[in-house]
Copies of this chain bind each other. A is one copy, B any other.
């Protein structure tokens, strides 16, 4: 029962009527796809299953109002995935929001004075 160190933490995300479309995990996934050109490689890097990654991407593409990821199968290397211009913009805007949020968290350290 000694005095613990308190920390304010949290999560933010962007949602539509159909639920979450963009959060920290999804943004990281998009970035890794952008870097590798592959959904599979991005999923492996993040230790998530291909299905989980694909479901996220599919949900984003269906609910964002425009495609963030375009993928194709077959061809050189077996297939590939690219992030669209809209996808890159979405990544940048979420980063800006998240930076503000981190500042909010850091600027509101809970002062539990008991």
Interface residues of A (CB under 8 A from B): 1-18, 21, 62-66, 86, 89-90, 93-94, 97, 100-101, 104-105, 108, 110-114
Most chain B CB within a 10 A radius of its CB, from A8, A11, A86: A8
Contacts A9-B12, A97-B108 known; list 8 others, CB within 8 Å.
A4-B64, A7-B16, A8-B14, A10-B101, A89-B112, A90-B114, A93-B112, A100-B108
Can you report 18 A-B residue pairs in the complex whose CB atoms are below 8 A from each other?
A1-B62, A1-B65, A1-B66, A3-B65, A4-B18, A4-B21, A4-B64, A8-B13, A8-B97, A9-B12, A14-B112, A66-B114, A86-B114, A89-B112, A89-B113, A89-B114, A93-B110, A100-B108
Chain A at the B interface: SS class: mixed
Most chain B CB within a 10 A radius of its CB, from A63, A66, A114: A114
